[in-house]
Amino acid sequence: MIRLLTTTACAVLALSGPAFANKVFVSNEKGNTISVIDTADWSVLTEFHGGNRPRGITISPDGKLLYVCASDDDLVRVFDTETYEELYTLPSGPDPELFVLHPSGNPLYIANEDDNLVTVVDTETHTVLAEVPVGVEPEGMAVSPRADFVVNTSETTNMAHFISTADYDIKHNVLVDQRPRYATYTSDGTRLYVSSEIGGTVSVIDIAEDGTPTMNQKLTFEVPGVLPEWLQPVGVKVTQDGSRVFVALGPANRVAVIDGESLEVLDYIIVGQRVWQMAFTPDEKYLITTNGNSNDVTVIDVAAEKPLQSIQVGQMPWGVAVTPN
């Protein structure tokens, strides 16, 4: 309820006053840097060292802390979003790739690909709270809006594991298609989307009141002139109202637009090469995609469902996060 009020307040503010300028942080996997972009004029503010092989990236709810999975350093680096200075590191277990923050900002749930574990780290005491054994090669991470479940997808086991945040036990497992990459809940918590990179599908999983998942259907993609093998869903983002789902299709260089109600694919937006992860601006006017093989990000006009512009960033951009208002 509080969250809902906050969202409404933000929306009202956004409508009445001048648009907030936000910062976009992009992790450049090969360049070992973080690019910072100003949403006011889409200029690149700076690029700073982000540790070795920075991939997963997220921002604390208060907008002050930037968390980066430094995969080759086997830890999470935490930066100040104003000064870009590294404040401290968090233990993550080996080869952290993706993570998700509890809506309150603590704890952080990290997927450790090498150890078949989800590591739960307290962001205040900087200690490991729990290690949860999951399937082979854990990757995608999502937290339910009520924060009662954390979902992890395992790439070789091909399941979404539903971990209770109360006791860190796995309560449900749902089989999805090959190499599940990313998972995200709708803001009302009634649905979970899971992308399967090699399977080429997005699983739509309905979530009951008590958190129990049921497979609804699997979405498939088709683009004339593009080999089906290259339609590889990776990043998924859903608008706050659930009406639109955006799916990054990797080497197909396109973002699919899906109607959240009918679950039909409406359009494909051409972006840069090897589109990977995505993030909305807080007002949801823009969606930013990372394009790994063209070293740029694309800004998509969400209402028009059209690409607006590309911005050159560092080498092989991977993840993206935008500061809250």
Which residues form the interface with other proteins (CB under 8 A)?
95, 113-114, 116, 131-133, 135-137, 154-159, 161, 168-173, 175, 177-179, 197-200, 227, 229
Rg of the chain (C-alpha set): 18
* Comparison of 73 and 197: residue with beta carbon closer to other proteins: 197
Q: Which residues contact 53 (CB under 8 A, 6 or more apart)?
A: 29, 30, 32, 70, 71, 72, 73
Query: Taking the alpha carbons of 65, 68, 69, 73 in that order, is the dihedral positive or negative?
Result: negative
Give 173: exposed, middle or buried? Use CB within 10 Å, 0-12, 13-18, 19+: middle
Q: Which is nearer to other proteins, 76 or 132 (CB)?
A: 132
CB of 317 to other proteins, least distance (A): 17
The DSSP letter of residue 8 is H
Q: How big is the chain, counted in residues?
A: 325
Select 15 or 227, whichever has its Cβ closest to other proteins: 227
In whole angstroms, the minimum distance from the beta carbon of 279 to other proteins comes to 23
Map residue 14 onto helix, strand or coil: helix
Question: Which one, 23 or 179, has the nearer CB to other proteins?
Answer: 179
State in angstroms the smallest separation of the CB of 158 from other proteins.
Answer: 7
For residues 136 and 154, the answer to whether their CB atoms sit within 8 Å is: yes
Supply the minimum distance, in Å, between the C-beta of residue 86 and other proteins: 25
Using CA atoms, how far apart are residues 195 and 188, in angstroms rounded to an integer? 19
| 103 vs 228, beta carbon nearer other proteins | 228
Minimum distance from CB of 196 to other proteins (Å)?
9
